[in-house]
Amino acid sequence: MIYYREENEFIDNTFQDYQWTAPLIQNPDQLEEYLRAKSIVGRTIKGFRAIGYGYNLVTGDIEDQVYRRLNGTLPDHELHAASNYDNIDPAFPIYRHAELSEPFIIVFSDGDRLEINFNGDSEVHIGLNSIPFEIKPGTNLNNFDANILFSCCIGCKIQAIEIIRRDSPHDGWPSMYGEEWKKQQEFIDKIILRLNDGNGLCFEALFDFGDVYVEDSNNKLITIPFDELQPGLYDDDRR
């Protein structure tokens, strides 16, 4: 089902989901049709903007990622030291992944902008040029530069769109809006914008948050060296 809203009424140029006119799409076939109608395939990515907060891109979560991935390779005392934010190896590969609760904007070389907020079970808010690019976050201040985190995608052309489907909603997740979804045989599990380098820019819901990440053709997460990512992190819990 596709649900449409009234005209945008962003007060004080601040994003609020309930004020966004973007359609809410629950059906994977309708999502494919929408993206086809907007001629997304063939466009070249110029840049990105995340409106809000990257919940996994704070000091503690980055330290946890390093700790988990080094665990078993170092003695305990070295492991704790190596995963301390100030001691992280500049070359350590950090996943190109952001956990969001507000829309992610893709800017194309022709100036159009695709806005995606996939943070509910088979529910995608998606629009084209429907949010002012400089809109302020409505929940938490932005804490990372999406152009740095997802720099490997800039300049790439979208060659295909893959909608990964599932045959039932997730158990225990918040129920979808309305009643029409109960008639569906398939549900939206993941969106992959397949790029001309073979990588995929992926969107996937996680309960009531949304994951944006880059993976290769074997579904392995793509990384960025920590020293390349660090200038794009604006973490507020250590400054």
CATH architecture of 22-52+95-232: Roll (2.30)
Give the pLDDT score at 62.
96
The domains of the chain are located at: 22-52+95-232
Position 76: which residue type? D
CA angle 79, 219, 115 (to 5 degrees): 100
pLDDT at position 214 is: 98
Query: Which residues of the chain fall short of a pLDDT of 50?
Result: 238-239
Whether the Cβ atoms of residue 165 and residue 186 lie closer than 8 Å to each other: yes
Q: Note the pTM of the prediction, 2 decimals.
A: 0.92
pLDDT on residue 211: 96
Residue 121 phi, psi dihedral angles, 5° rounding: -65, 110
